[in-house]
Structure 1
C-alpha cells in the first residue's frame, strides 16, 4: 500500500507539488509529527552557539521547508526526463572528472547529504563520463527498498551493497568512479576517523581514506548549491591526490573542513535531523586512551 501511494503521488507535477504537497509535508514533519525536531535543534545549538535562539529557529524552519521540497523532488524523479535533470542540475566543471577518467585514473567523489543528493547522483550519470558506483545500504522495508533501487538503477548508477564495499574497493585492479556521502555517523562499535567539522569532534567512516589510498585514487569534492526551488549547481574541486602518506587522515580531514564550509554557506540544505553527534570521542570504544586521531 505504501509503495502504491508513493507511485500515485509521484505522478503529480512538480509545480503542483511545490504549491500543495511540499508545504503540507513540511508542516506535518515540523509541527505535527515533530520528526527529529529535537535532534535538529540540538545540532544547531552545538554548531551555532553564538546565534540567538530566534536565528537558529529560522534555520530550522527553512530546513523543514527544504525537506518538504526535497521529498516531492525525489518522489517525482521516476517521471523526469534526462532533459529535466540536465536543466535542473548544472555541473560547473565536469571536465575535471572526465579528464581524470580519460587518463585512466580511479576517482572517489565525496559529497555531503546536502541539497538534493539523489538528483545530484542522477544528473552525474548524465553529465560525467565514468560509470558511477555508489555504496547502498538496503532499506528495512523491502517494498520501498526495491522501489528506490529501481529508481536509482534507471539512471545508470551501479549499486554496491555496503557489506561488499571493502571487498570491491579495498584493492581494485580496474579504474573506478565511486561516490561517497561520508557525513553520517558510523556505528559506535566500528573503527572510524575523528576530525573537526563545524567546530565539533566528528566521527567519519574509514571508507574514503582506505579506498583512495589503497588504489591511488584522486579524491574530488562536490560542492552543491541550491540556486532556486528545484534547481541546483555543483562545483568540483580536487580534495586530495596521490602520492599519499599511509599514516594520518589527510583525506577525511580535508573533507571535514570543506564540508563544514559548504554547510555554513547554505545551512538549511544540510541534513540537520541526522543523529550526527550521537556519541562523543571519549565514548568511542574503538579508541585507546592514548589514541589522538
Structure 2
C-alpha cells in the first residue's frame, strides 16, 4: 500500500470534532508515563460503567474461560481488564506521537535473535501475535528495532485512518501495510524473506475455519496460519507482549520458532495454535481483549453462548 497522504478534505468541518479529540489526546501524551497509566485506569473504570454491551461480552468470556474462578475473582479480573483497555487508549497515542527515544526507554525485548537469524537466512517469518490491549504499543516498540510488515484493515473514517497509519508506519519506513484480504501480497512478502505480524486468535466466521478446543470450548479457528506458513515457506515465531506492573514499560518476547510446523493436518495445527494462545493469555489475562465475541461462531446444533 502507498504511504498515507494528507488530503485537503481533512480540513472540512465534519472532521473538526475528531481533530479536537486527537488534539486533547496529544496534549495528554505530554504528561509523565505513570500519570497516563493512572488516567487510563480512570477511563477504564468509566468504560466499565457505560459500555454495557462490551462489559457483558467480556464478563461472559471470563465465565466461559475461567469457570474455576469465583464470581468475586472474575469481577476483579473484569475491572482490571477494563483498566487495561483504558490505558490502551493512551498507549496508542504514545506509540503515535512520543519521540522515538522516549518510547524506546519503555522497551524490554527478549528473543530478537530469532528474528535476526531468520532475516540473515532470507527466511520469511509469521510473527504470531495475540490481541492484547497492549497491541499498538507493542508493535511500535518492536518496529523500532526490526522491520515488521502488518496486516491492515482500512478504518471507515479517512482522517482517523490517515493518523493511525502515519503513526504506525513512522517507526519503520521500510514496513508495508497489507490489506487483510490480500493473501497474494502476504505470500509475496513472506517469500521475500520478510516478517509479518499476524494474529489468529479471533473469530473470523465459519469459512476457512475448523472447530478445535480453546479454554475447553469448541472455537472456530482459522486455518490460515498453516496455509501462510506452507505457501509462504515461512517459519512461525510466537510473539507476546506485557505491560509491566512496576511501571517500567513493556516486556516483549519473541519465542523460538514452532518446530515441525505446519504439521500433518490443519486440525492438529489449529489445536496447537489454540493451546499456545490459551497459555499466553493465562499468563496475563487482565491484558487480553475479552470484549471480542471469540465464541460467536458455533458448531452445527450447538447453543449460542452470547
TM-score, normalisation: structure 2: 0.83
CA contact (8 A) 1:107 1:219 kept: yes
SS of equivalent residue, structure 2 residue 203:
coil
Q: RMSD between aligned alpha carbons?
A: 2.2
Residue 241 (structure 2) aligns with: 224
Match of 2:211 among 194, 207, 215: 194
Q: TM-score, normalised by structure 1?
A: 0.87
* Partners of 1:30 and 1:64 within 8 A in 2: yes
Distance 1:148 1:17, change over 3 A: same
Q: Is the 8 A contact 2:42 2:83 kept in 1?
A: no
Tell me if 1:66 matches 2:84: yes
Q: Distance in 2 between matches of 1:240 and 1:34?
A: 39
**In terms of mean alpha carbon deviation, does 234-243 or 176-185 score higher?**
234-243
Aligned to 2:26: 10
* Contact 1:74–1:118, Cα closer than 8 Å, also in 2: yes
Spell out the pairing of 1:68-87 with structure 2 (5 A cutoff).
Answer: 68-87=86-105
* Counterpart-to-counterpart distance in 1, 2:177 and 2:185: 12
- SS of the residue corresponding to residue 275 of structure 1 reads coil
Q: Cα offset for 1:11?
A: 2.2
1:168 partnered with 2:182? no
Distance 1:117 1:162, change over 3 A: same
CA distance in 2, matches of 1:91, 1:74: 19
**Residue of 265, 274, 277 corresponding to 2:292:** 274
Contact 1:28 1:34 in 2 (8 A): no
2:254 maps to which residue? 236
Deviation at 1:115, TM superposition (A): 4.5
How many residue pairs match? The answer is: 279
What pairs up with 1:1-293 in 2 under 5 angstroms? 1-12=17-28, 13=31, 14-19=33-38, 21-34=39-52, 36-128=54-146, 131-156=147-172, 157-164=175-182, 166-170=183-187, 173-188=191-206, 190-228=207-245, 229=247, 231-241=249-259, 244-245=262-263, 247-282=265-300
Displacement of 1:39 in angstroms is 0.4
Q: Give me the whole-angstrom Cα distance separating, in 2, the residues matched to 1:140 and 1:69.
A: 23
Gaps of 5+ in 1: 285-293
**Distance change >3 Å, CA 278–CA 62, structure 1 → 2:** same
